[in-house]
Amino acid sequence: MEIHVVKSGDTLSALAGRCGVSVERLRELNQLLDPAALSVGQALLIPREDLGCRVRSGDTLRTIARRYGLPLSCLIASNPQIRDPNRIYAGQRLRIPLSGCAQEEILVNAYISDASTAALETQLPYLSLLSPFSWRADAEGGINWDVRAEAEQAEAYGAARLLTVTNLLPGGGFSGAVAHAIFRDEAVQDRLFENLERELAAGEYYGLNLDFEYVFPYDREACGSFLRRLSERLHALGYLLVTALPPKTSDAQQGFLNNAHDYAVHGAAADCVVLMTCERGYPYGPPMAAAPLDKVRQVLDYAVSVMPAGKILLGVPNCGCDWTLPLRQGSKARLLTNPEAVRLAAQARAAIEYDARAQAPFFRYRDSEGRRHEVWFEDARSLRAKLGLVSEYRLGGISIRNLNTPFTWGFRLLESMYGTVKLV
């Protein structure tokens, strides 16, 4: 896939004609809600077989591979004329494979809480794991089903379902008190394990996805002991254990969300660890990218120092936020799908900008009442930058935070860079 950034005067029909594809193909590939309205700065995926580029001063094969979102091995294999991969020169012409390259395979997990069967079926072929959200654990070791998308059809498409269990309260919100009650009492843990094992067997799940959040800092050691016991029980029965972790840049990092989670313990106990790196630009915070690449790198630098890189699934967001400015106490940004964000930019006649450090698109506009807004979302450029980290850090794969809305463009870009591991 090639990424084209819309310039003033571009139209979809003109782009389609230059690229030799149909307008409908471009519309479908990019999930365009209004094909007639493009925004300056908008990123479009263009299907291409391959591309040529010339080496710039200071380039290495690694930096070029990262620029185009390719595994280094793929770039080297596509340019057999290069005898020494460590020696390239400015002006040298390289082939950039955009399809047909032997791709490394990665694990792809996705969380989902509500989606139509038809929409989900088009996306299941791209998934290794599907984590319906969620079962709720209580302080007595019971579990309660609280999800609207069971997705029994997942296995027909080779996607293994995980039983996702959280410490959410019935009315919403993660409860440190529920986690504390479980961590501090082995009898409660035993009841929880028995309930989980019964549902795992009855629902024909492939394993468990544990997402306990807002854990009290003083429960750190007890949390680690619980994870070891859970790991032993599940692995003895042949089940996979996946755990979700908030972002940290060091073991000493302060913060209510972080202290109780020991990355090294999770890395040892779990088969896969989801790094929830999509937590920066959230609805109740200030306007910013959900997963700024520079911040994501800091989390990964620490994570790979204390756990096997191959166990890490990098969190990838599938939504945007629209903040009304100035921010007011208790105000909340409006959630948008990525295609909705692009359509909003076109309607507001706002040029889409791209933050080089965060590697994320954004734009500003005024609404009909004159209020200022700032919108951050994800596009092909920001996703390609994140997917490039998988190869760079040799991670196990990715985890999509929310698959309730279609991720067509994202999956098409993904399949141009990686294959998907199938477990069933």
Task: Please give the structure tokens belonging to residue 264.
Answer: 């090294």
Question: 316, 110 in Cβ contact below 8 A?
Answer: no
Whole-number Å distance between alpha carbons of 300 and 298: 5
User: For the purposes of burial, counting CB atoms within 10 Å of the CB of 9, is it exposed (0-12), middle (13-18) or buried (19 or more)?
Assistant: exposed
Residues sharing a CB contact under 8 Å with residue 118, sequence separation 6 or more, in sequence order: none
| Angle formed by the axes of helices 380-393 and 293-306, nearest 10° | 20
Residue 350 makes CB contacts below 8 A (sequence gap 6+) with 39, 344, 363, 364, 365
The tokens describing 125, both together, are 């072929």
Task: Identify whether 194 is a catalytic site residue.
Answer: no
Task: Please name which of 244, 235, 239 lies closest in space to residue 214, comparing C-alpha atoms.
Answer: 244
Burial of 199 (0-12, 13-18, 19+ CB in 10 A): middle
What span, in angstroms and rounded, lies between the C-alpha atoms of 290 and 303?
19
Which parts of 170-220 are beta strand (E)?
207-211
CA-to-CA distance for 268 and 307, rounded, in angstroms?
7
d(CA 307, CA 273): 9
* d(C-alpha 312, C-alpha 107), whole Å: 10
Q: Which runs of consecutive H residues, i.e. helices, occur in 275-322?
A: 293-306
Q: Are strands 129-132 and 160-166 parallel, antiparallel or unpaired?
A: parallel
In angstroms, the CA 307 to CA 265 distance is: 8
H-helix segments, 245-377: 263-269, 293-306, 338-347
> How far is Cα 206 from Cα 221, in angstroms, rounded to an integer?
28
User: What span, in angstroms and rounded, lies between the C-alpha atoms of 290 and 407?
Assistant: 16
- Using a 10 angstrom Cβ sphere, with 0-12 exposed, 13-18 middle and 19 or more buried, the burial of residue 120 is buried
**213, 340, 374, 378: which is the annotated catalytic residue?**
213
- Which are the catalytic amino acids? 213
